[in-house]
Structure 1
Amino acid sequence: MSDQLTVITHRAAPAVGRSVARPASRPVMSRALQPFGGHGVARRQDRPAAFYQERASQWSGLIGSAFEAISSRAAYDLRARIQQVGKEAQDHIEDIDPGRTGAEMKAWLDARLVADVAHHRAVMVSAVREFSDRAAQHFALPRSVPVTPPPSHLRSDFDTDRLVVNKKKNSAMSTWINIGMRAYMGFMIFFVLTQVMEVHVPGWLGVLPVLLLGGVALSEERRRRVDQRRHQAAEAVAQHIGEFADRASRESEELLRGLEMGLGSAYRGRVEALMARAD
């Protein structure tokens, strides 16, 4: 037998009907931090019908003012984006010859407009989803109504035929007459110097004033034609952007109208079901 002394202690038996383990106390949320005035998100059966009737009476004004604000911000966002695209397009036209780079400008313009409208729609849908979350809190619902917008059918297809400058009748003849007159002026200057003023210079130098004044006239004509193409491109691009902006604005209005009607009917249906259960 071991010499070690074993100490045996006896614990009192638990009282009948009492639990041995005491559950840990749960932290109590401050009333100021609880949503809905400290009541929290209650279960459906905890809300009386009067609660839903009161919240439903406020629903029309709540959704109307919310979508009015969303629509106002959406219109400003779209207008700012369209103005920025127009400014960048005009700056781009000033640096190129639209007659030679029309295809590149079309690709850039179409892609930029579609991308900006996609970002614009994302901003609107995000704002509507935020409102749906607030609406769920308004009705003390555990989940908000999902917002699923329809796909956009808006496309941009800039017509490069708009970049073609309408040539006036006999414009080519007028151009060559102008160049010929300038070259003739150069010849006359050389003739006066050699024949009237009797300046002795080699005859081959007479080609220089002819080529100089004729070349200046040709360069001015080319610059004038480029300016005409730029002016034509600026008008065509501005017209296309304006038409695209009108279609984008109508699509945005239809999108918001559809989302408003969808959310309104969805929350109305949920609340009506809850009121029927609460009665």
Structure 2
Amino acid sequence: MTEFDLLETLGRLDRLTRSEAALARFFRSTHRQLAFETVSSISAKTGVSKATVVRFIAKLGFDRFSDFQKRLQAEVMRRLESPTKAFAQYRRGGKSSRDYLGQSIRQALLNLEEARNAIPFDLLMKAARLLAFSPGSVYVTGQITSYGQAHFFWVGAMYLRPGVRLLDHAQSTLPCQMADVTPDDVLLAVTRRRHTRQTQRVIAHFVQRGAKVVLLTDDIDAPSAASAAIRLLAPANGAFVFVSACAAMAVIDALLWAMADLLNERVSERLQGIERLQNDFDTHTAPG
């Protein structure tokens, strides 16, 4: 049973008792850590008896909790593999389904649901306020595939407030770009497995300068996560061997939306000014 199968199985369960429903909610919200839980720890955290935990595991198709745990631990190891190893494993599996879009959408929905459960409203608004009202600059960073998400946030945030800077992911120019970081600045760092050393170094530099860090990641235990003032979890589990950007993009959309509401009239004035400049530069093609 893979991680995707576990979540799918939980979604198919019906006629759950109150205790079983509590366990299902706990499994959905903490399935990344379940591989390291025990019957006793699950019982303590959910207020459900140990016997009920064991019966619920059986309902998921496992004779023993140890079998369930080993399967989840294998999934953790799979997530840490390189795409090359993951693709080799995919080929060995002999998967025959060709519903590429359907499988991708189903996995995206699972990621979105988990992100919604992992990011309470108050946490999202705390991040949005920090990014909207930072008296200094808002820096944005991301490497490899995360760079595209960082770029998307940067473009949107430039419409909302001044002083938004995208850090070029070229290693040779980064020191110059970060030379003027101050405690008034804030960094939005986007990272997902496999995490890069460059992102870790960027975060370390901002923390050293006294700036706050908002971390958008698929792994709450990602490198440098402990250094971030705010951590936003956006699962990136993919139906194929590559990670998915769907949940992270939804979180970025939500951050931009919340920032716009917080900045209110200032956004309207800024948008009007930007639109006048775009007209002067004939930026967009004519409608129709």
TM-score when scaled to structure 1?
A: 0.20
Higher helix share: 1
**Higher normalized strand content (fraction of residues):** 2
Instruction: Choose 1 or 2 for highest CA Rg.
Output: 1
TM-score between the two structures when normalised by the length of structure 2: 0.19
